[in-house]
Structure 1
Amino acid sequence: MMILRRLNPTRAIVGRLFLWFWATFIVTALLAIWGSRLFFEDLQVVEIKPMELKNLQAVAQRLTRERFIRFPLEDALRRNSRGIRGRLIAVNVSTGTVISYNGPPLRENEKRDLLRLVNQQAPIGIKRGALKLIGPVFFEKQNQQYALFSAKLDMSEKQTPPVLLFLCIALITTVLLSWLFARSLTKPLLQIQSSAKRLAEGEWQTRVNIGSKRHDELGQLARDFNVMAAQLENMWGAQKRLLADVSHELRSPLTRLQMALGLAYQQNVDINTLERVEREAERMEALISQLLTLSRAEAGSANIKACSLSQILDDVFKDANFEAATCSKQLQIETVPQKTVLADGIMLCRAVENVLRNAIRHSRLLTKVSFGEDEATWFIRIVDDGEGLSLDECKRIFSPFYRASLARERTSGGVGLGLSIAKAAVELHHGRIDAVPISGSGLQVTLIFPKELSSAP
């Protein structure tokens, strides 16, 4: 049983290709033969019209006249065929030689039909397919007896020329079977492509459902894709758990370190050293806080409720104005729309705050904040006039711990988690965040949210 399954050609794409094309040609040939049999009917006796017989007898009489005796029989037939709607054919009764003037050669079955009719005493009409034969009418030439026939195409109005019939059958059959074959291959490929796209967008539960139904290379590809997706989901979950666990575990020693610093201050230990240790402890505290925020955002635990957009962002913009003034920079903020949104206020504030502080930090002088909406989304756009980033860096700045300029971030105290938190917070609201460089200099970051999460006040 296992050997038969392995020899099954449908388990491989090569075998499926062979079988489909082979089946296409076989079915086409069978349909063509069936159609030809319908078209080329068996030999049948048909009625002779009086005018047809009269014309044929008149030609036989003219062939015996003296003026046509000296002509070769082929020329005589050609000269007398002008009044006949068809072709004149003469058969030597003694030798069975078939004589006709220039034209398409007669097929073997048509010659056999003529030889059978030579022995008929009275003219009859027969038809095989589209060819109609009328005769014989006998005449003598140079002491040889001949049987005269007329042959013409007699097409029924409902019939179609054979070439067109075969062409239609071939086109319809090959198009239908080839389409089915192409669909059987492209449908699973499109499913895998769609699943790969969703997986790349962070939908870790994405799986391809065709793996258990197919046993060829495409089925194996789908199963391998599912294994890869499961491993990526496990790795991503492990990473989030690791960040959360490490952040929690570091809190305890950090607390003890801060208590030890307090005791050291009381014991008059070197102040410069203590201040250095305290700065590093504060930096570690900020890092742990950001890691916990990122873990909560990526875990998808949101407290969604109706709140005013202007009230949510009021404190964020006040702090941003103070920070910009401290750095001798300008911050221009459009009037916040008076609308109510369904959002996690804390995570939305964190997203806008991280992007805005990043823009102020790297701007030369001016940072702008604007709002907008279209039919499906509303958005917050933050633009700075700093050095800007490349397209490749714009795609990578939202990755955890990525810093476009290591020296610049060290000077500012950043660790590369702010924009990652912003991205996770926006995706928590089923939105997206985009960064694009501005022509000349600067960076534009847009936080986009679906309108399904917003409502008019």
Structure 2
Amino acid sequence: MKTLLENINPARAIMGRLFLWFWVTFIVTALLAIWGARLFFVDLEVSEITPDELATLTSITQRFDRPRLARMPLQEVVNRNARSLRGRLIAVNTATQDIVMSMGPPLRENDIRDLKRLAKQASPIAIKRGALKLVGPLFFERRGERYALFSAKFDLPEKKTPPIVLFLIIALITTTLLSWLFARTFTNPILHIQGSVKRLAGGEWQSRVGPTSNRQDELGQLARDFNKMAEQLEAMWGAQKRLLADVSHELRSPLARLQMALGLAHQQNVDPATLERVEREADRMASLIDQLLALSRAEAGEIKLSATPLPDVLKEVFTDAHFEAVNSNKQLVVFEVPTFTVNVDAVMLCRAVENVLRNAIRHSRASTEVYFSDDDDFWSLHIVDDGEGLSSQECERIFAPFYRASLARERESGGVGLGLSIAKAAVELHHGHITAVPADTGGLHVTLAFKKS
């Protein structure tokens, strides 16, 4: 029974919730509008006759007895006397219920019924229906017939809100409030899922959607599917890292044997050119394996932090970079290094800076600049070269393992596309981030931002 009720519950689906919310909004708005109309608008009410109104109506009634007016048609007499009233005059024949009124728009059926009923009233009263106020009756005789005389004026309330404005205000406030609540409950889960997607796309493989996955509607199902996908991606990424580390370790043994065989071949006077070529390829493979192992350690989170002055950490890196730049007939400009102390893994930090800096020197035309900046949360190292640079799309991909740009920056570099990947992993170990953008000089501007302790 419980399962059946859950299946037919309209609130389980987004379509059902949309229907219920709009239906409730309409019902509540209608109820409040009706309540407001009854509170501020009285269908028919007895009003107070002012002395001026009674005096004016009495004066007009007395004029009807003048001989000159008695010879005129009643319609003309009513029209003439209505001019001084600033309203309308209405005469009701008490016997036949015929109505004679001054010029103006026709009366509503409700107002006509009120006049005929009041024509039998003994003493004058005032009634209001909406904005129309009727005052009377005062009686006069004409050609043997008895008439009840009324005055009619439009009397808008001064302090009460007009009903149409009231309805609009009630409808606006009610629908705005309920629609806002609905939009908030509907969009918050979507924003949670969106945030998790962005974090996952940024490499946070542990990113999951939290409470939204407990919902029983389509958004909850989407959140659960996302969590399942994230788990599979995390498992695949972990397997890839383990495979990379295992392959690197396994290649070390045959590489060591190859290097020993090269040593023996040198002793046996084998062709030197052939041995030199084999040795060069062995060295390249050794460098590749070293980089793979460094990337595996960085991604595994192996880090040893220590407090060290920043100039001491980077001194050797900048010295080696100056030497490399001079040998390439290029210039390296390092602006003043801040003297504050940083809590870092010196080896990983130097590896990250060295990989980016050597890459910049290799692809620069004439010079490379290094400068620093900091704010409340991060201190940053900026490396800018004047080379051919990369497109914005390639700047987003150069930190992926084994990625090599199609432009001249990578065509003859001799690298395998791991240096920037190692730099990215090392920076992220320090809870920082690394970015690359096209530089104003036409080259590449790489920023390594490290979180302050």
The equivalent of 2:254 in structure 1 is 253
Matches within 5 A, 1:363-382: 363-382=364-383
Alpha-carbon separation, structure 2, partners of 1:96 and 1:204: 90
- CA displacement at 1:86 relative to structure 2: 4.2
The Cα offsets for residues 217-237 of structure 1, whole Å up to 9 and x where unpaired, read as 333332333223222222222
* Counterpart amino acid of residue 101 in structure 1: S
CA distance in 1, matches of 2:225, 2:75: 78
User: How do 1:330-349 and structure 2 match up within 5 A?
Assistant: 330-349=331-350
Q: Does 1:238 align with 2:239?
A: yes
1:42-121 equivalent positions in 2, closer than 5 A: 43-69=44-70, 73-84=74-85, 86-121=87-122
SS in 2 for 1:412: coil
Structure 1 73/163 Cα, relative in aligned 2: closer, same or farther at 3 Å? farther
In the alignment, is the contact (CA less than 8 A) between 2:88 and 2:103 conserved in 1? no
Separation in 1 of the partners of 2:26 and 2:304? 64
Q: Does 1:264 align with 2:265?
A: yes
Tell me whether 177-186 or 101-110 shows the greater mean CA deviation: 101-110
Match of 2:171 in 1: 170
Check the 8 A contact 1:39/1:159 in 2, yes or no: yes
With over 3 angstroms needed to count, the CA separation of the structure-2 counterparts of 1:414 and 1:118, relative to structure 1, is same
Segment of structure 1 superposing worse, 232-241 or 302-311: 232-241
In the TM superposition, residue 343 of structure 1 has moved relative to its aligned partner by 0.9
Alignment-derived partner of residue 229 in structure 2: 228
Q: Which deviates more from structure 2 when the two are superposed, residues 296-305 or residues 75-84?
A: 75-84
Kindly provide the amino acid, as one letter, of the partner of residue 324 in structure 2.
E
User: In the alignment, what sits opposite 1:415?
Assistant: 416
Deviations 1:173-229 (A, max 9, x none): 222222222222222222222222222222222222343443333333323332232
Aligned 1:315-326 pairs, distance under 5 A: 315-326=316-327
8 A contact 2:192–2:212 mirrored in 1: no
- What code does the residue aligned with 1:32 have? A
Task: Work out whether residues 40 and 130 of structure 1, in 8 Å CA contact, stay in contact via their aligned partners in 2.
Answer: no
| Matched position secondary structure for 2:136 | strand
How far did 1:23 drift?
Answer: 2.3
Alignment check: 8 A CA contact 2:395 2:437 kept: yes
Q: CA separation of 1:121/1:405 partners in 2, compared to 1, >3 Å: closer, same or farther?
A: closer
Q: In the alignment, is the contact (CA less than 8 A) between 1:40 and 1:128 conserved in 2?
A: no
Post-superposition offset of 1:354: 0.3
Cα distance per residue 1:41-75 (max 9 Å; x no partner): 36444443343222212222323434445655454
More moved, 424-433 vs 7-16: 7-16
Point out where structure 1 has 5 or more consecutive residues left out of the alignment: none
Identify if the C-alpha distance between structure 1 residues 99 and 13 changes in structure 2 by more than 3 Å, giving closer, same or farther: farther
- The equivalent of 2:392 in structure 1 is 391
Compute the displacement of 1:154 (Å). Answer: 4.7
SS of match in other structure, 1:148: strand
Distance 1:85 1:210, change over 3 A: farther
The whole-number CA distance in structure 2 between the counterparts of 1:101 and 1:221 is 73
Quick one: which amino acid aligns to residue 422 of structure 2? I
1:163 Cα deviation (Å)? 1.9
For 1:365 and 1:382, locate their aligned partners in 2 and report how far apart those are by CA, in whole Å: 14
Name the residue aligned to 2:187: 186
Task: Say if 1:303 and 1:343, in contact at 8 Å, map to a contact too.
Answer: yes
Deviation at 1:39, TM superposition (A): 2.2
* Structure 2 contact 255–286 (Cα < 8 Å) conserved: yes
Q: CA RMSD in A?
A: 2.7
Aligned to 1:25: 26
Distance 1:101 1:182, change over 3 A: farther
Give TM-score, length-normalised by structure 1: 0.89
Question: Equivalents in 1 of 2:292, 2:245: separation in Å?
Answer: 7
The answer for unaligned runs of 5 or more in structure 2 is: none
Query: CA distance change for structure 1 residues 407 and 83 in 2, over 3 Å: closer, same or farther?
Result: closer
Change (3 A) 1:94 1:271: same
CA distance in 2, matches of 1:104, 1:199: 73
Distance 1:364 1:180, change over 3 A: same
CA contact (8 A) 1:13 1:217 kept: yes
Question: Aligned residues, how many?
Answer: 452
1:55-101 alpha-carbon deviations (Å, 9 max, x no partner): 21222232343444565545433432344364322223233334433
What is the alpha-carbon distance in structure 2 between the residues aligned to residue 376 and residue 348 of structure 1? Answer: 18
> Conserved in 1, the CA contact under 8 Å of 2:89 and 2:150?
yes
Counterpart residue identity of residue 339, structure 1: F
Q: Percent identity?
A: 67
CA deviation vs aligned residue, 1:357-413 (integer Å, no higher than 9, x gap): 111111222222222334443222222222222222222111110111488747432
Aligned position for 1:202 = 203
Once the two structures are TM-superposed, the CA of residue 36 in structure 1 deviates from its matched residue by 1.4
Kept after mapping to 2: 8 A contact 1:211/1:220 = no
C-alpha distance in structure 2 between counterparts of 1:18 and 1:269, whole Å:
86
| Cα distance between partner residues in 1 of 2:176 and 2:109 | 35
Cα distance between partner residues in 2 of 1:101 and 1:15: 59
| Whole-angstrom CA distance in 2 between matches of 1:181 and 1:375 | 38
Does structure 1 residue 355 correspond to structure 2 residue 349? no
- Structure 2 length normalisation: TM-score? 0.90
Give the match's secondary structure for 2:215: coil
Return the alpha-carbon distance in structure 2 between the equivalents of residues 18 and 72 of structure 1: 65
Matching residue of 1:275 = 276
Residues 121-136 of structure 1: pairs in structure 2 closer than 5 A: 121-128=122-129, 130-136=131-137
Matched, 1:290 2:308: no
Task: Give the match's secondary structure for 1:292.
Answer: helix
Distance 1:405 1:24, change over 3 A: closer
Superposition deviation, residue 353 in structure 1: 0.4
Match of 1:434?
435
| C-alpha distance after superposition, 1:86-142 (max 9, x if no partner) | 432222323333443344543333332222212222222334455433221122445
- CA 1:285–1:109 in structure 2 vs 1: closer, same or farther (change >3 Å)? same
